[in-house]
Chains A and B, each alone.
Chain A
Amino acid sequence: MSDAETAILFSEEQAQLLETAEAFARDKFPMDRVRARIAAAEDFDPSMWREIAALGWLGVAVDEAIGGSGLGLGEVVAVVEPLGRHLAGAPFMSTTLAAQALMWAGNEAQKRQWLPKLCEGAVAALALTEPHGDWNLENLTTTVTENGDTLMLSGTKTFATDAASADIVIASALYHGAPALVLLEKAMLAAARIEREIVVDETRRSYRIDMNGVGAPKSALLNQPETRATLAHIDHAACLLLAAEMCGATGGVIAATVEYLRTRKQFDRPIGSYQALKHPMVDALIAYEGARSHLYHAAGMFGQGVEGEIAVRMAKAMAGDALAFASDRAIQFHGGFGFTYDCDAHLYRRRGLWCEAQHGDAAYQRRRLANLIF
C-alpha cells in the first residue's frame, strides 16, 4: 500500500468547521424540530438557511474570486457530517453540488451572475436523474432542442431535491445526441410541472419535473464540451457528501441506540447488558469507525484522479453499509417501540435508504471499484 492510500490529511479549517457545524446542527435540529419539519408547509426554515449562508458554508468550495472561501469539497465534508448526524433538512447539498456544476461547466456570465448569489443563500437544485432510475448520469432521455433562438426541453427528471424552492435548476439533457447541462431560472420553469415526490426520507423535499414545454434562451446552456467531466465530478462530489451525511447519521443512530440500551430494562436488567444486543452494537461501532476513516481519507484525496475516485467510492460504500446495519439494528433493538412511528430509529434507516438510492448504493460502488482496481 502506498503512503497516500493510508494517509488522512486533516486541515485546521476542517477542524474548525467540524466543531462549529456540530454545535450548529445540535442547536438547530433537535429531534422534535426534525419531526416538525416533516409536516411543515415550506421546504425549509428560511431563518436557519440565512444563518447557514451567514456562516459562509455555502461558499466553502467556491473560488475566492467569485465570492467563496476557496477551500475544497474536503472541507465541506466537515459541515455535512454533523448535519447528517442530526438529520438536518436543508437545501445545503443540492446548492453546494449545483455550485460545483457551475464552477466546472458554467460560462463566465453564468458564474458571475449566480455563484456569488449561491454563496449568499440563493437556492439551487440539480435535476439529473430520470424515471428509468439508472445511476449512470449519462443515460439520458430528456432532450433539449433548438427552436430558432430558444431552447425547448422535453422529458422528465426525477428526484430533483429542493427544486420547488430553487432559484435555479441545473438539468441534464441530450443536446444533438450528447449530454448537456442547462441552467433554468425560476421564471423559465413556470411552464414545467413540478410535483412533490413521496420519498422514503421524509426530511427531504424531492420533486419530479415534467420539462415538456419548458423553454430557455440559448445562453442557458453550460459549456457543452465540459459536460461529461462535470457529470463525473458531480457524481464523485455527491458520493463524498452523501458518505459524509451517512457517516454522521450512523454516529447519531449509534448514540441514540446506546442510550436506549443503557436505560431500557427487561427481565430486571438493562437490555444493553445482554450480549445478543451488546455485540452487534460493537460491530456497528466498528463499521462506523472504518467508514469514518475512509470518509476523511476521501476528503483529503478528493479530485486526485483515479485514486481520488477510488477513495470516494470506497467511502460511500463503507458508509452505506455502516448506516444500513446500525439503523436496521436500531429498529430491532428498540423492540415494540421500534415498530412505531414515534421511535426515531426509522428516521435514520430512511435517511440511509435515501442516500443509498442517490448516486449508487454500496454494491454498485463496489462494482465500479472493481473495474477501477482490477
Chain B
Amino acid sequence: MLSQKELDEFRKEVRAWFKENAPTDPGFLLPQTFMEVSTDDQFHFLRDWQCKVYDAGYLGMAWPKKFGGGGQPQALQDIVTQEMVRQKTPFMVNTIGLNWAGPLILNMGSEEQGRAYIPGILSAEDIWCQGFSEPDHGSDLANVRLKAEREGGEFVLNGSKIWTSLGQYAKYMILLARSNPHVNNKYEGMSFLLIPMRIPGIEVVPIRKLTGEYGFNQTFFANARVSVSCLIGEEGGGWQVAMATLAFERGAAGGQAGGHSMMSKETADVVALARVAARNGRPAIEDPMIRDRLVQFIMEERAAELNAARARIKALNAERPHSIPMSVKLVRSEFQRKLCQFALSLQGASAAYYLGDSHAYERGLWQRAYFNAFSATIGGGTSEIQRNIIGERVLGLPKS
C-alpha cells in the first residue's frame, strides 16, 4: 500500500508532466472519442499522443511488466487518468484495445496471446476494433448472424459487422461470431475471436455519419479464413466472453489500462460560452432565462456525480440496489445531448455555422458534439431500450 503522501507526490509529478507535455492545438478540430476519428491527420496526431504517454510510463501502469506494462499499483494509474481528464488532454485513441481487448486477453488469454498483443495495444502500434453489432440487429447483441464455420484448423468467416470504429486503421478485431447455428437458445453457439484485419476476404467500407464526417465503418467478411488459435474462451462460449468484455469496459472488473477515452463537454464549458455569447447587448449569462437553464444543467451534472458517490453507500440504496448503475448510460448520454443543444442556442445567430467555417465558435465543435451525442443515446442500446430495461429490471414493471 502506498501512503497518501506518496500518492500526493506522484500526483504532483503527473500533473507537471501533462502540463509540460500535453499537445498544443493541432490546427484542426480533434475528435471527442475514438468513434469519431475521421481523418488521417486526426488519427496520426492521436496515435503519437498515446505513444508519448506510454513511453513516459503513464499507460498500462498496472499491467504486467513482461507484456510491456508497468507492474505498479492500479492506484497510480487512476491518478494519471484523473489528471488527464482534469487537464482535458486528448483521449487515448486505442480505446478498444485498452478497455476491451487488453483486459480480456490479460484475464482469459494465453501467455502467448499476452506477448503477441499487449505491447502493441499500449504503444498504439496495433490498433484494435470491435465486431459485435450487425446490420438489422441494433440493440439485440445476442442476435449474431456472422458465420464462423470450422474447417480443420480454421474458421471461415462470412457476414458483416457494423459500427466498426477505427476499422480503417485497425490491425486486429475482437469478433463475436456464430460458430454453431443449430442451437435452440440464441445465447449459445457463439464464439469469440481475436482476428487479424488485413487478410483476404475482409473489406472495410466507411459509413458517412449525420455530421457529414466518417469514423464508423461496415466490415464485410467473404470467406475470410482465420486460425482456430484466434479463439478466446471456449468454442461456443462466446456470449460469456462478450459479457465479460462489456464488464471490463464498464470498469466493473479491475485491470483497466487507464487513460481516458472521451473528451466530454461539461456545463463549465457551457458557462464559459454563456459569458462570451451576447444577448441584447449584454453577456448571455446575465439573461435570467439563460441563468435558470444553466443552473438546471449544473444541478443535473452534479446529480450524476453524486449518484456515483451514493451508489457506494449500501444503506442509501436498499430499495433498488441496481437503480443508479443501470441508469448511468441513459442519464449521461441524454444529458450530453441536451447540453450540446443548449450550447447551440446560446450562440445566437452564430448557431447556424457548421464544421468547416472558420467563424464557427470553437471551429463548430458544439455543432458536431450535438450530432455526435446521438451515438451515445442510440449506441449500446437506445435510450428507449434503456427505459424498458430500467422499467422492467429496476422498477419491476411488466415486459412491454
Q: A: which residues have CB within 8 A of B?
A: 1, 5-8, 10, 14-15, 18-19, 251, 254-255, 258, 261-262, 269-270, 272-275, 278-279, 281-283, 285-286, 289-294, 296-297, 314, 317-318, 363, 366-367, 369-370, 373-374
Contact = CB atoms under 8 A, between A and B. Distances in A.
B306 A293 contact: yes
Given A258-B397, A273-B399, A314-B299, 20 more contacts: A6-B305, A8-B316, A15-B315, A258-B396, A262-B397, A273-B398, A282-B327, A282-B395, A283-B387, A285-B320, A286-B327, A290-B306, A290-B331, A294-B303, A366-B296, A369-B295, A370-B288, A370-B291, A370-B292, A370-B294
B256 to A, nearest CB: 20
Given A5-B302, A258-B397, A270-B398, A293 B387 contact: no
A289 B398 contact: no
B72 to A, nearest CB: 23
Given A270-B398, A272-B397, A296-B310, A279 B305 contact: no
B319 A251 contact: yes
Contacts of B294: 370, 374
B395 A258 contact: yes
Contact of B306 (A255, A269, A270, A297): A297
B310 A18 contact: no
B299 A10 contact: no
A23 to B, nearest CB: 12
A19 B315 contact: yes
Contacts of A279: 384, 387-388, 391
Interface in B288-328: 288, 291-292, 294-296, 298-300, 302-310, 313, 315-316, 319-320, 323-324, 327
Contacts of A370: 288, 291-292, 294-295
Contacts of A290: 300, 303-304, 306-307, 331
Contacts of B291: 366-367, 370, 374
Nearest to B299: A314
| 5 closest Cβ pairs, A-B complex | A290-B303, A293-B306, A370-B291, A272-B397, A6-B305
Contacts of A297: 306, 309
A292 B292 CA distance: 21
Contacts of A294: 299, 302-303, 306
Contacts of B339: none
A286 B271 CA distance: 24
16 contacts: A6-B305, A14-B315, A15-B315, A255-B319, A270-B398, A278-B392, A282-B327, A286-B330, A290-B300, A293-B307, A296-B313, A297-B309, A318-B303, A367-B288, A367-B292, A373-B298
A270 B12 CA distance: 58
B270 interface: no
Contact of B397 (A261, A291, A296): A261
B390 interface: yes
Contacts of B304: 290
A278 B387 contact: yes
A317 B392 CA distance: 28
Contacts of A369: 295, 298-299
A258 to B, nearest CB: 5
A221 B282 CA distance: 47
Given A290-B303, A293-B307, A282 B391 contact: yes
B394 interface: yes
B400 interface: yes
B324 A289 contact: yes
Contacts of B387: 275, 278-279, 282-283
A81 to B, nearest CB: 10
Contact of A18 (B295, B305, B315, B399): B315
B313 A274 contact: no
B46 interface: no
Given A294-B299, A367-B288, A370-B292, A278 B306 contact: no
Contacts of A366: 291-292, 295-296, 299
Contacts of A317: 295, 299
A275 B382 CA distance: 14
B285 interface: yes
Interface in B240-295: 271, 285, 288, 291-292, 294-295
Contact of B315 (A10, A261, A274, A363): A10
A285 B395 contact: yes
A54 to B, nearest CB: 24
A251 B318 CA distance: 12
A177 to B, nearest CB: 31
In the complex, which of the residues A8, A255, A269, A297 has the most CB atoms of chain B within 10 Å of its own CB atom? A8
Contacts of B296: 366
A166 B70 CA distance: 68
A292 B310 contact: yes
A369 B300 CA distance: 14
B312 to A, nearest CB: 8
A322 to B, nearest CB: 10
B395 A363 contact: no
Contacts of A273: 397-400
B383 to A, nearest CB: 9
Contacts of A367: 288, 291-292
A285 B323 contact: yes
Contacts of B313: 8, 10, 296
Given A18-B315, A261-B397, A282-B395, A318 B299 contact: yes
Given A8-B313, A279-B391, A297-B309, A314 B323 contact: no
B292 A278 contact: no
B316 A314 contact: no
A292 B400 contact: no
B398 A262 contact: yes
Contacts of B391: 272, 278-279, 281-282
A165 B397 CA distance: 44
A232 to B, nearest CB: 20
A285 B392 CA distance: 12
B394 to A, nearest CB: 7
Given A262-B398, A282-B391, A290-B307, A1 B302 contact: yes
Contacts of A18: 315
A275 B384 CA distance: 9
Contact of A293 (B292, B303, B390, B397): B303
B298 A7 contact: no
Interface in B325-350: 327, 330-331
A301 to B, nearest CB: 11
A3 B13 CA distance: 20
Contacts of B298: 369, 373
B295 A373 contact: yes
Contacts of B396: 258, 262
